[in-house]
Structures are given as structure tokens and as C-alpha cells.
Structure 1
């Protein structure tokens, strides 16, 4: 029986355009995200590199960039947060039927843009729905590394078999599943988080 629900953020609640940053950078002549850049991104998501340091690395590597053009390209991934999803999670939180957690790979610039797009009051309403709000840059771990799932289970004394993890990235759900956690690999555009209890009804 499921007692705990652990949600991803991007493309589960807030809409993303995952191709937008690469497309924006390509327009500025940056056509390949190499291994060095991927390493910067992962380090930044773990909160082990500041926004200023990430920007500086990009400006050093690509002198045609400016701090503003890089930030705009970086944040172009963040779109809207549909009201029906916010209403749904607020009602679920009010029901007190489940313990609710958020577990997201994100970073300071993206969260800043999320709050700007949502407005601070809606973001606060959303955050208050969860018992704990795990952001990768604050806990210095990221999905799909197994340590992050173990951390959440231990931190909140959750039993894996009583926990459902929802994420739009199959690597992340596969990692959680390997630890005995129930998972839903949500496919954006085909499924919506508000369909949770219909799509995964066998678990409830």
C-alpha cells in the first residue's frame, strides 16, 4: 500500500522546453554540448558550483557570449506551471492521505526563473504542499545517483515498498526502481500528473 509520494518537478508539474537552451546556444554559435560542459552542468546542479562560476566558465570558453545572453539561454527551458496541476496538488495535500515530497534536479538560476514565471505566491503555495522539498543544489546530490534515493528514504524514514516516485526521465525511475521503490515514468504530452490515481490505480 502506497503511503508516500515523491514527485519530480520539471515536466511533472512545471512545463519545460528541454531543447530550448541548446537551440538558443546554437544561434550564438555553440553547436555542441561537450563532456566538459556536461560536467559543469552536473556540478552546478549539485550546488558545488555557483551561478557566477558557471557563467564565467561559459564566457571564458565562448567569448561571444554575454552573461545576460547565457542566462537567457540557460533559463529558456522553464515554461509555465498550469493552474490545474497546482490546484490538484493543493487538494491532495489538504486530504492528508499521503506523505508528499518533491525531489528535483535543478539549480539556482532555474529556481529563480520558476519563481519569476509562477510568481512568489504560487511558488510558496506549491512548496507548502510538501513535507520536504528536496532540490539537488541544496542537498549536493542528483538523480539518477542511487545515493539521493537512499538519502530521502533514510532522512524521512520511508519504506521503499510504500513509496511511489514519479519522474519524466526513465533513467531516474529505473534507478529508484532498483532500490525497490514503486515508480511511474510519466510521459509529458501523453500523460498528466493529475491522472496519477487513474493510471497507477493498481497501487492504491
Structure 2
């Protein structure tokens, strides 16, 4: 069986409010103002596909938020998104691999985050056979092609895959391709899924 895990809020807890909190402090703009302006628009998607670099993304986001931050300040806030790893999910990933299953990570991410989280959470990479990252693939979830490309690379059929993600849109896109998909709405979903299968 091929198990496909999203990264954020599936293996590692993330929180965008932490990002905005740092930017609010550094830019001296009220948090509520930044929250009202923040959205995952075009710049976000381009960055996740690797179509714009970190510096251009920072400029575009600062324009969207109407905040004056240097790149180092922007980056400091951007990395604050990571809260901590979910050890119970890491343990499940290891167990699956010990059983002979294939375990991969499919993440909409960006180069700036990928310079950070592997050093903070080395156990994540150790728990997976392979990482499929949006900015390296030039695609992002929920685009159908990203799932198809992963299945092709793994030489697996949709029927032999199980996918875990916290974003319902990504889940529905995977289901449309015939991939059994589990919507991870909180930290208990993945452990409960596997305890029910024993």
C-alpha cells in the first residue's frame, strides 16, 4: 500500500496566526489588520509552484498586507508557522514502513520553508521514503496532475493509495482520481484511522 501524507497539520502542526503575530510586532501593524488583509492568493500559489522566488514572494506579500518589512524580518515571521511535530504520526509512518508499505509526503510548500523545517524536524524526513514538494514539481494540490505525477513516480494505482490532508479541496481532488482520502480535521484523525484498522 502507498500512504501519502500531507505535511502541515498532518505531520507537523502549523499556525498562520503565529506568522502574522511576528510580522505585526516587527512592522508595528495591528494583528487584526493583518488578519483581515491576509489571503492565500496568486503570489502564494506561484511561490508554492516555484514560479517566483522567496524575495519576490516577500515583496508581494508585504504589498498585499501593506507592511514594511525587510526580507530577514519577513523570513523570521514566515518560519514561525511551525508549531511542532506530531510524534504519534511519525511513529505510525515508521510502523507502516516496517510492515513493507511505502510512505511518502506530498506537500504544498516553498523553498523558504524547506530551508527551515528539515533542520528543525529531521525526524520527518527519516519517517518517509520520499518527499514530493510542490515547488520542485511545479504543481500544487489540488491540481489533479500533482497526484497523477506522484502515482506514476511510485508506479502505484489510485486504488492502492491512501491520502491524508487537512484541506478539504485537496481531499476532494484526490478522491476524484479514485484515491482513498482521509480529511484530517484534528490531531486525532490519523491515529484513530489506524487504530480502527487493526
TM-score interval w.r.t. the shorter chain? 0.7 to 0.9
- 1:183 maps to 2:181: yes
Corresponding residue to 1:172 among 147, 170, 173? 170
Q: Secondary structure of 1:188's match?
A: coil
The CA distance in 2 between the partners of 1:182 and 1:60, in whole Å, is: 40
- 1:74 maps to 2:78: yes
The CA distance in 2 between the partners of 1:132 and 1:193, in whole Å, is: 19
- 1:195 maps to 2:192: yes
- TM-score by structure 1 length? 0.81
Corresponding residue to 1:141 among 139, 142, 164? 139
Match of 1:32 in 2: 37
Alpha-carbon RMSD: 2.3
Aligned 8 A contact 1:4 1:162 in 2: yes
The CA distance in 2 between the partners of 1:198 and 1:152, in whole Å, is: 27
After the TM superposition, which residues 1-204 of structure 1 pair with which residues of structure 2 at under 5 Å, given as runs?
3-26=1-24, 28=27, 29=29, 30=34, 31-33=36-38, 38-58=41-61, 62=66, 64-96=68-100, 98-118=101-121, 123=122, 125-189=123-187, 191-199=188-196, 201=197
Q: CA deviation at 1:26?
A: 4.8
Q: CA deviation at 1:197?
A: 1.6
Any stretches of 5+ residues in structure 1 without a counterpart? Answer: none
The CA distance in 2 between the partners of 1:158 and 1:150, in whole Å, is: 10
- TM-score by structure 2 length? 0.83
The CA distance in 1 between the partners of 2:162 and 2:67, in whole Å, is: 45
The CA distance in 2 between the partners of 1:80 and 1:151, in whole Å, is: 29
Equivalent pairs, count: 190
Q: CA deviation at 1:53?
A: 2.2
Aligned 8 A contact 1:100 1:131 in 2: yes
Q: Secondary structure of 1:10's match?
A: coil
Any stretches of 5+ residues in structure 2 without a counterpart? Answer: none
